A and B are shown apart, each in its own frame.
Chain A
Amino acid sequence: MQLTRRNAILMGAGAILMTGLPLRASAAGEDAIAAFTGGAEVGEGDIKLTAPEIAENGNTVPIEVSSDSATEIMVLALGNPTPPVATFKFGPLAASRSASTRIRLAGTQDVVAIAKLEDGSFVKASTTVKVTIGGCGG
């Protein structure tokens, strides 16, 4: 059977592949974190990052960050070509120090949120979001 061009295009399972393997963090991500923290140590604590374990659509992944005592929260997608996603700033009168948005992920990678707290210290939360070809669910 001759494979026509039309068949090759329409029957492809391959078109949606974004990337094959988990993406590693690049130096650009570390540089962005260093610029945000001024090189200060980053601990764990009052920062929450909510993201799906497996993205339903890697082009628009809903994430949410929150903290009771943050003045700024920086979000990074460490495997993206440009890791910094957004930095949210909260004033002292902010009713709720949380923000949600949708981000694009180039592939399976770690998403990181770093908060600068009122006392000047930095805390971090991280989660892996998987971007998969899909199919084959029981």
Chain B
Amino acid sequence: MISRRDFLQTSMAASAILGASGFGQWGRIAAQQTLTQDQLLEFDTFGNVSLIHITDIHAQLKPIYFREPSVNLGVGPNKGEVPHVTGADFRKMYGIDDGSYAHYALSSGDFTALAEGYGRVGGLDRVATVINQIRADRPDALLLDGGDTWHGSYTCYQTQGQDMVDVMNALKPDAMTFHWEFTLGSERVQEIVEGLPFAALGQNIFDAEWDEPAELFPPYKMFERGGVKIAVIGQAFPYMPIANPGWMFPEYSFGIRDENMQAMVDQVRAEGAELVVCLSHNGFDVDKKMAGIVKGIDVILSGHTHDALPEPVLVGETIIVASGSNGKFVSRVDLDVRDGRMMGFRHKLIPILSDVIEPDKEVAAVIDEVRAPYANALSEVIGKSDSLLYRRGNFNGTWDDVICDALLSEREADIALSPGVRWGPSILPGQDITREDIWNVTSMTYGAAYRTEMTGEYLHVVLEDVADNLFNPDPYYQQGGDMVRTGGLGYRIDISKPQGERISEMILLKTGERIDPSKTYQIAGWASVNEDTEGPPIWDVVEAHIRKKGTVSAPDNDSVEVVGL
């Protein structure tokens, strides 16, 4: 039986005491003096098995800034539950001191000042150092990649994911599952997967024609580590052909398929698995629901919704670990597995503070090598921002405001729509915007900036449809993105209402008039899932806009009114 004491042995919260007090005084030197790599990685090795989890890297090879959301609303059973707690409430919940590195890494609030003090986060060469250190403690630790790895940057696009494959291979993962990888197209995915030196898992990746498990992606792999038989079951993103262009990978079908997950758990237990780990790209709320339905999973390593939690969430006897995104965190989970059961765990969410953690030389060399051919294109300065540009948040982000402005002016539209994706690093006020920065928030294989006509009525239907993907009270009907961002359009949303009744008060901002259901509007957007969408690439549209403006700003945006909280 797992004791409560064992479950409470998580160590992130305690580390918050390292921070100083007060606001706005975060000199970089002061931050570095208070923190050392040893402190960040300090861990009292526990039990007989170690898991290392990294997920949703979105091709961020180099250190970046990444602001966590201030608005992340939960509905139904998840109202007010983590990860739907942000900012000061989040810090209070976990006992994190204001101004500490944990504040900076895990929560929103005072981001710019803390970013100037603590510096950039991530960088796979730093991640490599952390992994190596864990392997020094526990040489046979399992490294598991939750997917969204081969997507999200200039070099990833130009090399069709090869840059990420090369760098990840240098980290030597043991298994991986998938989401945006499939937007490389099934032919390219098959080509890469056939050559991977580790397991490509997905119990829910099926052949679309025959509705049977796809051969290329086994449901699970058995490992023997520390004398323990461990089954790692993969769970790819369930709604790939819906949230992303299904025509790019028509051979595959997905879905949650929790009945098949249960069958796989039963099968691996029958084969002698003493520890069952689910490497998931479901998103946090879906994982929570699944953990309550599928019996016998010990650990869910959760990805997709980009949440970073300093402690695992417990559902029954399953622990759910959320490890953030964009290379910003690595989770270490040590487990004591005896007599065929998980008896306890110790967990740490390690923030990759790039100025504190030494880069690993070998991996740094691989990163430099894959980036070298593109060095000039990447580093060209296009303009500057005088505001903090970020994306995460349920309704709008300042980076999306800039992208919507670009669409409105470059595509001469009334209204702009920008997808509510959760990837994309931040830019500090006063920072130059390079071509790499623009690609980091726009890169994808279906980035055509379309221009179309929509009636007011249809626009309402679109907003209602997307809102239901986010605010349906049943997590199994959520797709894990944020609300579509709008430019030139204001609206009110009542998140407590059912589909069809959430969106009201739609206003065309340039005239201040109400949207007329029967009138036709010019709409510009990007990332359409429809085949044969035409238009210039979104990164060119944004680059042209920023070049013309020189310095971009993102003033406060109150065009979305949220009620029903």
Interface residues of A (CB under 8 A from B): 1, 3, 7-8, 10-17, 20-22, 50, 52-57, 62, 100, 108, 128, 130, 132-138
**A7 x B465 contact (CB < 8 A):** no
* Residue pair A136, B479 in contact (C-beta under 8 Å): yes
Given contacts A8-B452, A136-B469, contact A56 B246 (CB under 8 A): yes
B461 pairs with A17, CB closer than 8 A: yes
- Interface of chain B, main secondary structure: loop
Q: List 26 A-B contacts (CB under 8 A).
A: A3-B522, A7-B451, A7-B452, A11-B450, A13-B450, A13-B452, A13-B528, A13-B530, A14-B458, A20-B461, A20-B464, A21-B499, A52-B255, A54-B239, A54-B477, A56-B208, A133-B461, A133-B466, A135-B527, A136-B481, A137-B479, A138-B304, A138-B420, A138-B422, A138-B423, A138-B481
Does B43 have its Cβ within 8 Å of any Cβ on chain A? no
Q: Which residues of B contact A100 (CB under 8 A)?
A: 211
SS of A interface (majority): loop
Chain B's nearest CB lies how many Å from the CB of A15? 7
- Report chain B residues within 8 Å CB of A135: 243, 419, 466, 484, 527-529
Minimum CB–CB distance from B237 to chain A (whole Å) comes to 7
As a 0/1 sequence over residues 446 to 462 of chain B, the CB contacts with chain A under 8 angstroms (1 = contact) are 00001111100010111
Query: Which residues in chain B, 409-429, are within 8 Å of chain A measured between CB atoms?
Result: 411-412, 419-423
Q: Kindly report which residue of chain B lies nearest to residue A6, judged by CB atoms.
A: B534
Binding site for A on B (CB under 8 A): 208, 211, 237, 239-244, 246, 253-256, 259, 283, 304-306, 411-412, 419-423, 450-454, 458, 460-462, 464-466, 468-469, 472, 474, 476-477, 479-482, 484, 498-500, 522-523, 525, 527-530, 532-535
* Residues of chain A with a CB closer than 8 A to B283's CB: 138
Residue of A nearest to B254 (CB): A56
Whether B533 pairs with A132 at a CB distance below 8 angstroms is no
Q: Which residue of B lies closest to A16 (CB)?
A: B530
Given A13-B525, A52-B255, A130-B477, the answer on whether A137 and B237 have CB atoms closer than 8 Å is yes
Q: Which of B419, B454, B468, B476 contacts A14 (CB 8 A)?
A: B454
- Chain B residue with the shortest CB-CB distance to A21: B500
Partner of A8, one of B255, B306, B453, B532: B453
Complex: A56 Cα to B383 Cα, angstroms: 41
Is the pair A10, B421 in contact by a Cβ cutoff of 8 Å? no
11 additional A-B pairs beyond A62-B211, A136-B482, beta carbons within 8 Å, are A11-B535, A13-B462, A20-B465, A53-B256, A62-B253, A132-B468, A135-B243, A136-B419, A137-B239, A137-B421, A138-B306
Chain B, Cβ-Cβ closest to A60? B208
Chain A residue with the shortest CB-CB distance to B412: A1
* Whole-angstrom distance between the Cβ of B443 and the nearest chain A Cβ: 15
A20 to B472 Cα, complex, angstroms = 15
In whole Å, how far is B199's beta carbon from the nearest beta carbon of chain A? 24
Nearest-Cβ distance from residue B336 to partner chain A, whole angstroms: 34
Name B464's closest neighbour in chain A (CB-CB): A20
Contact of B480 among A17, A20, A52, A138 (CB under 8 A): A138
- Beta-carbon nearest neighbor of B257 in chain A: A52
- In the complex, which of the residues B255, B421, B532 contacts A138, with contact meaning CB atoms closer than 8 Å? B421
Tell me the minimal C-beta distance from B18 to chain A in angstroms. 31
Distance in Å: Cβ of A103 to nearest Cβ of chain B: 13
Name the contact of B484 in the complex, choosing from A10, A130, A136 (C-beta under 8 A).
A136
CA of A130 to CA of B412, assembled, Å: 34
Minimum C-beta distance from A109 to chain B (A): 12
Given the known interface contacts A53-B256, A54-B242, the answer about A133 and B462 at a Cβ–Cβ threshold of 8 Å is yes
Report A19 CB to chain B, min CB distance, Å.
9
Interchain nearest-CB distance for B498 vs A (Å): 8
Nearest chain B residue, comparing its CB with the CB of A128: B477
A3 touches B453 (CB 8 A): yes
A134 to B211, CA, bound (A): 21
